[in-house]
Amino acid sequence: MCRLACFLGMPIQLADLVTKPKRSILTQSYDARERQPHTVEHLTKPNLNGDGFGVGWYSSNSDDKTPCVFTSILPAWNNTNLSRLAEKVESPLVFAHVRAAYPGMPVSEQNCHPFVCGKYMFMHNGNIGDFLKVRRSLLSALREDIYNTCQSFHSDSAVCFAVFLNQLDDLETEYSPTELSRKMNQCMRVILESSKEAGCKESSLLNFVVSDGRTVVATKFSDSGCSASLYMSSGTDYQPFNADSEEDFHVIRSSYRTRIAMVASEPITACPSAWTKVPENTMIIMSREKEGDVNVAFSPIQVEGGLCAKVPLLKVQSYKVLESVEAGQGLKASTSGEVPLTREFIGRVRREPDNIMTGHSGGVLSLTMDGDVMYSGGVDGKIGVWDMDAFSGRLREMVDVQPCGPVMSVATAGGHLLALVGNLVVFYDKNSLELEQDRTVRLPNCGPLMALGAGGAVVAFGGQDCVLRAVERDGAEERCKIASQAHNSFITSMIMLGGLVCTGGADTMVKVWDAETMEMRSSFRGHKGPIASLAKSPDGGRVFSGSRDNTIRVWDMEEMCCRHTISGHSNDVIALEFLKAGEDKEFLCSISLDRTCRFWDVHYTCIQLFSLGMEPTASVLGESTLYIGNESGQIAEWSLDFVEESPGDTSTPHSPRLSSLDSFNRHFSMFSAAAPEKGRDSEMVQTLKDFIAIPSISGNVENEEDCFCAAKFTSRLLEKCGAVTKMIKPEGKNPVVLARFEADPDAPTITFYGHYDVQPANEPTWKYNPFEVTTVDGFFYGRGTTDNKGPILAFVYAVRELIDKCGGIGRLPMNIALLIEGEEENGSGGFKETLCANPHWFKNTELIVISNTLWIGKDRPCITYGMRGMITLSVEVYGPEVDLHSGNEGGALKEPMTDLVKILSSLQDSSNEVLIPGFYDGVNFEEVREKIKMFESLEDSIDMGKYAQSLGLDPVSDCSFAELLSKKWLMPTLSIVEIRTGGSNGGFGRQEPKWKPGAAKSAMSMWNGATRYLEPQDDQGSHFCFGPTRFSVIPHKVTGQISIRFVAKQDPRKLIRAVKDHIETSFRDLGSSNKVNVKVHNIGDAWEGDESHHIYQAAAKALKACWGDTPLYTYEGGTMPVTSTLEKTLQAPALLLPMGQSTDNPHLANERIRSINLFQGKNVMRALMEEVAAVVRQ
């Protein structure tokens, strides 16, 4: 049986793989030791591999993509040219192969591996069972160009390579690691299908290795379940034992990073702890990452009926692929030592530690603290024991670990000190520091262990073989538990969470396991690079993960989703520590290869930064000190005196009021089916108070945690009512809550839409605290009472009452689903993606209910059956490269501001009629006139004088109220909403707040710190308020923003084209040397319902039953694009059923909802569900 080996990493001499190691591929050509039982007799014999050999390599020059190969039919041990060549050639990617031919298989150079075609190189160990029976069918399926490249028709390996090439679209296409692994999967499937069709009896051994120069894909596979041997090894370096001797090589693992990776039929080096035996039917994908690192992923090859299953393989995260395809240039690393002062940084920088401790002769790989004693593990194979009760740390003892090797991790458990060394878990007595040999855990063929977690009686560990293991000591008995293939790549980090084990892998995943059963509880996706570090909050409610994608993610362990992503570092986040000082101070500490340590407050704003000077390798938190180990063997001591200076924040997202649901659970636990209606209403009011207390302001970075808390509150409320719930957090957006009350999977469904996010409450005219419900004269005042937290609660409590009335969820007349988002006030980002990705939650939707509009007056209920759409666009006029002085240059040029004003003035006449040709196309004026007549019945709903007064205007012109409504509801309009000067984008779009380092902050919001006012900063961007010198400046660029509202029957694309044509024509008529640019920022769909639909009749019946009056059918001039999105996606009609009065002040100061409207709104929703169920049954 053949032997093969492949190396990927930093450049090495071919001799380092082929000739020098004791178990080199040359040695394996005459001393192959591992033979597997096989149905083909000659494959099991310990014969020599002397029927030829080959080596192949890629150049270190990235521009040279084609490999070079040297092959010969001479035995490898007897070819002097091989030894000479191997001493002179260096390469970062090497293939080596020694051949043992079948009986009857020709011995020729055409049959020697590796095979080459274009940029691809390929080798094989094994066979195709009954090859002669299947050869013709395999060759006949090849494309003409691939058939002509087949190096030999006599060799099953050469034919396998041709079959692989046949899966490629062409030989020049750049494939990602994921795509290349799928091509290999397809190749194996074709071979096995052909063998099955030909009735082959012999089993096939398909140990393939293929590369395109960037990625290596290796397989270990047999259709009989007994594959040829294959091992893999990885580490940070590959070198001789010492500089003076080259008698053998070893793979060094001195950090979580992987700089080299190898696969081989047998271990190349003598140290067994460096090699992992590849599991049966497994694919290994090795790909290059940033800074020359290597990503290694394991993927099980699924077998169905003897064939490779057509299943998608894991996604291999490759930094090179991500940079070029997914993330632009977003993953650039920095190790310059320069402190990157990012926008988020508002604190100070420290550049010198308080103390430096030395003791290790190599890098410090791990640190752990146990009371006043700190333990350190080093590359030098020693454990340092440090007394920390002195003024500065003092080295007590250096323990030589046996067997010697890098100490990847140290931890304490009970009276034991634990260390990971190679493939061993070593136990020491913590007091005497004597080795407890009887406890040592030995794991042959698993490769080096990299991550260790200890908690209570459980010790968990994992590493290169991707397997999670745990040892639990019960009295005198030890039990070992295993989670096979826990990750698709190395397990690099681990923490204990009570009875759970949390692991981070090089496959970018964070996973949570039951420590007792080793069953996976949850898996977290989101990072775009390997996980390098994990930490937890003291209560275990949050887990923090640091990654090689330079970010930190915050995972909620109750909702099992991402709460926040923290950016700021410019290289790997290699360590995380959580610091809690007192009741109201929490800080997350992150250490990065960008040579900085950052401290983040509860809003995840960086408030303190340490400039480390050297590359960090490990950290641990003391009582008031942070200890950071580095690559030189030093441990730096940094005092955390800034903690005492930092003010507490009683309104933080982590305060009991916001992060705890105790009060909610307390009042909701009293909810009883037997409670009278008034008691039920009082419970709803208490729930409203708790809900309003969460300042869930979307678009404000300081309230992101509040938005998460509001989503969690909503989810918990629905769970208490009996719903199945799910929280989904779109990237960079607030969570979406999905819920379903399912009576019958095949029954119709009512879907309710709402949003828990609210507008800011910065207006100084608030009479009451906007985030505390205040009851005055029968009204509930507070931000979100009417928009939209109050209506959400009314619907939820209506569902609860209907469940009680029916006798349980299973007896509901129809299914009920809810979709509650947290970005409605900020553009509904992530809403549509979540809706489309989870259609099963809204299966069989018959009706969509939305309560996010208002009555037209105060006393009569309404049904909204139409809303206008919206187009936002900007007109930018620019000319000079810089701003000019009006005294020096005024009158000498066409000024951008003057041109813009002339353009904008051409859009409308003095009576607000829009002058753009085609602007009113699509408007049915006859229908408008008919509806004006219908609106005349609403004349008594509003006082025109008071209406004008509410707007701060003189009495409105002599138009009637019906005509006013038609202008607001039924006609397209154009409004100029803003003019700005300067800035590359005109200042439009979402803008992050800017802190001025060192400056005192302005006063907090008058209401309990709900919103911070930031001191304004002057910059080169957009300007609103001009100081005295701005009056003399001619801006080089000006931008006007326009808001267009259009009606349902208009085509927004045609409308945009008409606006652009008009602006370009008007500008051309000016004869200006400036330039104009029109940019569309957003389009929101218009919506119109059908008031004759039976759903509207059911709604009218429910409203009349509760309010005793026939509802009004009204439009709204505003825009809510989610309505049309929901209708189109769920293929069901939408019903807009407002609860609040026209005077409720949504988005304004003193927002409110009348208590009777809230309670009756609940009753209307319950009656509506019953009416719709009756209609559907009919």
The Cβ of residue 962 has, within 10 Å, a number of other Cβ atoms equal to 16
pLDDT of 40 > 60? The answer is no
The DSSP letter of residue 557 is T
pLDDT value for 918:
95
pLDDT value for 948:
60
Reading the block at residue 1127, the tokens are 């209708």
Place of tokens 């869930």: 696
Calpha distance 439→442 (Å, rounded): 9
Nearest C-alpha neighbor of 1134 from the set 1126, 1145, 1146: 1126
pLDDT of 34 > 70? The answer is yes
- Between these two residues, 348 and 38, which has the higher pLDDT value? 348
The Cβ of residue 781 has, within 10 Å, a number of other Cβ atoms equal to 23
pLDDT tens digits along 465-505: 999 999 886 555 667 889 888 999 999 999 999 889 999 99
pLDDT tens digits along 313-345: 444 443 333 332 233 233 344 444 444 444 345
Residue 959 is a catalytic residue: no
Mean pLDDT of 980-1000: 43
Nearest C-alpha neighbor of 470 from the set 447, 500, 510, 428: 500
Calpha distance 554→16 (Å, rounded): 44
Helix, strand, or coil (residue 950): helix
- Between these two residues, 741 and 480, which has the higher pLDDT value? 741
* Mean pLDDT score across all residues of the chain: 84
Nearest C-alpha neighbor of 901 from the set 875, 882, 866: 875
Mean pLDDT of 153-175: 91
pLDDT tens digits along 268-302: 987 878 899 999 999 999 998 877 889 999 988 87
pLDDT value for 321:
30
pLDDT of 659 > 50? The answer is no
Mean pLDDT of 920-943: 74
Residues 405-444: b if buried by 16+ CB within 10 A, e if exposed: bbbbbbbbbeebbbbbbbbbbbbbebeeeebeeebebebe
Q: Are 311 and 182 in contact (CB under 8 A)?
A: no
Mean pLDDT of 652-668: 41
pLDDT tens digits along 90-102: 999 999 999 887 6
pLDDT tens digits along 530-578: 999 999 998 889 999 999 999 999 999 988 888 889 999 999 999 999 9
- Between these two residues, 1068 and 1120, which has the higher pLDDT value? 1068
Class of residue 758 by CB neighbours under 10 A (exposed 0-12, middle 13-18, buried 19+): buried
Calpha distance 47→33 (Å, rounded): 10
pLDDT band per the 50, 70, 90 thresholds, residue 380: very high
Reading the block at residue 19, the tokens are 């000739």
pLDDT of 676 > 90? The answer is no
Nearest C-alpha neighbor of 1092 from the set 881, 863, 875: 863
pLDDT band per the 50, 70, 90 thresholds, residue 346: low
Mean pLDDT of 782-807: 96
Catalytic residue among 2, 112, 271, 502: 2
pLDDT tens digits along 606-626: 889 999 988 999 999 988 899
pLDDT value for 170:
87
Mean pLDDT of 516-542: 92
> Cα dist. 491→453, 548, 1144 in Å?
12, 14, 55
pTM of the model: 0.78
pLDDT value for 656:
32
pLDDT band per the 50, 70, 90 thresholds, residue 49: low
> Cα dist. 584→581, 650, 1174 in Å?
7, 6, 54
Q: Are 1171 and 1164 in contact (CB under 8 A)?
A: no
pLDDT value for 309:
65
- Angle between helix 1155-1177 and 677-692 (nearest 10): 110
Q: What angle do CA 627, 631, 632 make, to 5 degrees?
A: 95
What stretches of 104-221 show up as alpha helix (H) in DSSP?
Answer: 131-140, 144-147, 156-166, 177-197
Among 198-207, 341-350, 406-415, the range scoring the smallest mean pLDDT is 341-350
Q: Are 849 and 1139 in contact (CB under 8 A)?
A: no
Helix, strand, or coil (residue 122): strand
What share of the chain has pLDDT > 70, as a percent?
A: 83
C-alpha gyration radius of the chain: 35
pLDDT of 820 > 90? The answer is yes
pLDDT of 987 > 60? The answer is no
What share of the chain has pLDDT > 90, as a percent?
A: 58
Nearest C-alpha neighbor of 787 from the set 1164, 1156, 1153, 1154: 1153
pLDDT of 657 > 80? The answer is no
pLDDT of 765 > 90? The answer is yes
For residue 973, give the H/E element and its range: strand 973-981
For residue 1078, give the H/E element and its range: strand 1075-1084
pLDDT value for 391:
59
Reading the block at residue 803, the tokens are 């469940």
Helix, strand, or coil (residue 319): helix
